[in-house]
Structure 1
Amino acid sequence: MSEKSIAGVPVVKKPLVDIRVLRCTMVETIQDTWREYSAFYISYLNKRWDNISPMEYGIVLVSIAVVGWLLMRSGAKKA
């Protein structure tokens, strides 16, 4: 008798979890988490944008201007 048996019942060695199922579950979990976080932050930013004060709007415009200026400045050095 080369197979192991317990009380006359042969023991079949199977993995506890199929690796393909585990990968699908892990990928689905990551996707679900990403969807939940992105939905929350999109909702939060939309609410903040709808209730933005003039001072906050100015800060947004100045920030965009500074980032644009830095990007154009670094682009001119490469040419």
Structure 2
Amino acid sequence: MNTSTIATQASAQYELRFCSLFDEGRGYSFPCDEAGHVDIDSLSSRARLNYFYARTVIGREFSMPAVQRSSTLH
């Protein structure tokens, strides 16, 4: 197993969640490391657009993102 595989598996244990300010249960989540860093290059183009959108509308549509343990551990 190489270091990039280990890093990917480690980052899959956490997710960065952007929760809607208006619609409970609505939001986005992205795999990240324990510090909240998202590997943008590993995201699909749609997920990358959603990530940039969520970051852009913090405070207007979404709350500040929070790092949480992933609910879908592999």
TM bracket (short chain): under 0.3
Which structure is higher in strand share? 2
Higher helix fraction (1 or 2): 1
Q: Higher relative contact order by CA 8 Å / sep ≥ 6: 1 or 2?
A: 2
| TM-score, scaled to structure 1 | 0.26
